[in-house]
Structure 1
């Protein structure tokens, strides 16, 4: 028998290293992130998932 597992939503605490994806995209669907001089694109899909591409 397979049972569905449900996890409680994580408690959100103020954390300076935690960033809201919608804030990073300024309400849009994409944000550009730079790491060591290389550009990455963070995209929020229509399904609400995140994709990070180089």
Structure 2
């Protein structure tokens, strides 16, 4: 028995990533370099480094 891919993954030209929500990190940080992100009762810190990389820490 072989597994088959769902139709949405096998259509040419349809990217799974194109259907995900996208957020601008600079807007999340209000033009700064840090923001807090809350998930349930956990708080995470999003930081933009000088090199333009993102770091997410708990």
Same fold (TM over 0.5): yes
> How many correspondences in the alignment?
41
Query: In the alignment, does 2:47 pair up with 1:25?
Result: no
Residue 38 (structure 1) aligns with: 42
Larger Rg: 2
> Aligned-pair RMSD on alpha carbons?
1.6
Q: Which has the higher helix share?
A: 2
Structure 1 unmatched runs, 5+: 1-12
Q: Which runs of 4+ in 1 moved over 2 A?
A: none
Q: TM-score, normalised by structure 1?
A: 0.69
Q: TM-score, normalised by structure 2?
A: 0.64
